Amino acid sequence: MERDFDTVRAVQWRDGRLVLLDQRLLPARTEYVTIDDVQATARAIRDMVVRGAPAIGVSAAYGVVLAARACYARVAEGWREALRADLEVLGAARPTAVNLAWAIARMARRAAVPGTGDPSAALLAEARAIHEEDIAANHRMGELGAALIEGPCGVLTHCNTGSLATGGYGTALGVIRSAYRAGKLSEVYADETRPWLQGARLTAWELRADGIPVRLLVDGAGAHLMAAGKVGWLIVGADRIAANGDVANKIGTYSAAIVARHHGVRVMVVAPGTTVDLATPDGASIPIEQRDPEEVLAFGGRRVAPEGVAAWNPAFDITPAALIDVLVTERGVVQAPDRARMVAVFAPSTAGV
């Protein structure tokens, strides 16, 4: 049987509860967190037990199931009204990833369907559908993205965009998985991705778990790597894509894209259609999450900067559409994305949603 290099599942539903692989502990320990209420779901999202825009959306969907179950047990006649406050708690967990708001809105629409009795079964079916659709979309994106690569060539990726960041298989790493299986990759390189080291801790761990060789490099080495002609593609994910094609992704993506353009390395952004936000006109309109300065000032629990030094710690940056060669989603491939091309692909299927 042909290997699909896909063994990791970070988000699961078991025995009526949400189970998350605690990504803060990787690669040293593989431990799961079992969650049975909405507040714990929001904390897990905020504290990065689970991370990656699609995985956050899937987790939030299951969080709505937990919330509705508790609301119904508390006030059977008014559970929908009680649920609204829980949806707000979930929605505030992380502001940049649009998949979070999308999943909550979809679950809220399902909750609004008239009916009596315990809503848990119907909402769980919807959450499972969101999860399964994400995995199917990732496999489709993997095929579409891999078809664009004329191998064998090296690729560079940033942050973690694989099974750990999604319902399964991955977005940018899904393309890398599919391209590797097709024999199109000579080398996979991963930025370490400071300050949370998602590349070092997560991408390297995940690819190794699936038997895909990977070389790790510090973020600042990417320019030298490209100048040396080691890679033909920079392949990254996205947390939100604006109507004009601007992309919000993990901090460091913008600088990598600038360097790629300078060296003639093509840039591929891979993300599900749920990451496209046509209501956001451009990158300047995307809210950028600011995280605790201690993430920069300390490392592994030990302070590395002098006392009294401040830090600026945005979690994401904006890569302008002009630096992106191709956007891959399960709905299709957008070459040189701009407002007209984005609307042509996404407006019809998002109308009325």
Q: How far apart are CA 71 and CA 74, in angstroms?
A: 5
Q: Which CATH architecture has domain 11-135?
A: Up-down Bundle (1.20)
Where in the chain are all domains bearing CATH 3.40.50.10470? 138-350
Among residues 207, 211, 219, 312, the alpha carbon closest in space to that of 259 is found at: 219
pLDDT in tens, 49-89: 999 999 999 999 999 999 999 999 999 999 999 999 999 99
User: Do the Cβ atoms of 72 and 82 come closer than 8 Å?
Assistant: no
- Residue 246 annotated in active site: no
Give me the CATH code for the 138-350 domain, please. Answer: 3.40.50.10470
Helix (H, G, I), strand (E, B) or coil at 151: coil
Share of the chain above pLDDT 70, in %: 97
Residues of the chain with CATH 1.20.120.420: 11-135
Report how far residue 42's alpha carbon sits from residue 149's, in angstroms, rounded to the nearest whole number. Answer: 38
Q: What is the pLDDT of residues 3-39, one digit of tens each?
A: 667 888 999 999 999 999 999 999 999 999 999 999 9
CB 262: neighbour CB atoms within 10 A?
11
Residue 35 and residue 56 in contact, taking contact as beta carbons nearer than 8 Å: no
Catalytic residue among 239, 277, 317, 325: 239
pTM of whole model > 0.75? yes
Instruction: Identify the H or E element spanning 139.
Output: helix 120-147
